[in-house]
Amino acid sequence: MAHVDEQTALIRALFAAAAGGATECEAADGGDSAVAGAPWQDMLQRLRQVTRADGAALWLDPARGRGPSWVHGTMAGPEAAIRRSLRFDRVYGADELPGDPGDAGALRVVKARAGTHLQATLGIARQSHRQDFRSADGQQLNALAPFLGQAAEIWARHQAARERAARDAGLAAGLGAGWLLLDATGLILDLSPAARTWGAALGLQLAARRRLDLADGARALALRGGLTACLAGEGPVPLTLSRDPLVELVLTRDPGPGDAAILARLRHSMPCAAIPPARIARHFALTLSEARLTALICDGHSLRDAAHRLGWTEATARTCSKAIFARLGVSGQPGLVRRVLSGALWLEA
Position 37 scores a pLDDT of 47
Task: Write down the pLDDT at residue 184.
Answer: 87
- Residue 102: what pLDDT? 57
pLDDT at position 258 = 59
What pLDDT, on a 0 to 100 scale, did the predictor assign at position 257? 62
Identify residue 68 by its one-letter amino acid code. Answer: P
Low-confidence ranges of the chain (pLDDT < 70): 1-4, 21-39, 65, 100-104, 256-260, 349
Instruction: Express each pLDDT in 261-304 by its tens digit.
Output: 899 999 888 889 889 999 999 999 999 999 999 999 999 999 99
Say how far apart CA 286 and CA 294 lie, in whole Å: 9
What are the two backbone dihedrals, phi and then psi, of residue 335, each rounded to the nearest 5 degrees? -65, -35
Amino acid 175: pLDDT = 87
Residue 209 Ramachandran class (φ > 0 left, ψ -120 to 50 alpha, else beta): left
* Terminal C-alpha separation, the chain: 56
pTM of the model: 0.70
State the SS3 of 220-261: HHHHHHHHHHHHCCCCCEEEEEEECCEEEEEEEECCCCCCCC
Q: How far is CA 116 from the centre of its chain?
A: 25
Q: Are 266 and 248 in contact (CB under 8 A)?
A: yes
Residue 141 contacts residue 91 (beta carbons within 8 Å): yes
pLDDT of residue 263: 93
Torsion over CA of 39, 45, 50 and 51, rounded to 10 degrees? 120
Q: What is the pLDDT of residue 275?
A: 92
At 211, the amino acid letter reads R
Handedness of CA 46, 50, 54, 59 (dihedral sign): negative
- Identify the pLDDT of residue 116: 86
Smallest CA-to-CA distance from 112 within 140, 149, 143, 84 is with 149
CA distance 279 to 345: 8
CA–CA dist 46, 260 (Å, integer): 41
Q: What is the pLDDT of residue 31?
A: 41
Minimal CA–CA distance to 232: which of 252, 205, 257?
A: 252
Sign of CA dihedral 144, 146, 147, 150: positive
- Name which of 107, 56, 55 is nearest 86 in CA terms: 107
pLDDT tens digits, residue range 41-56?
A: 889 999 999 999 999 9
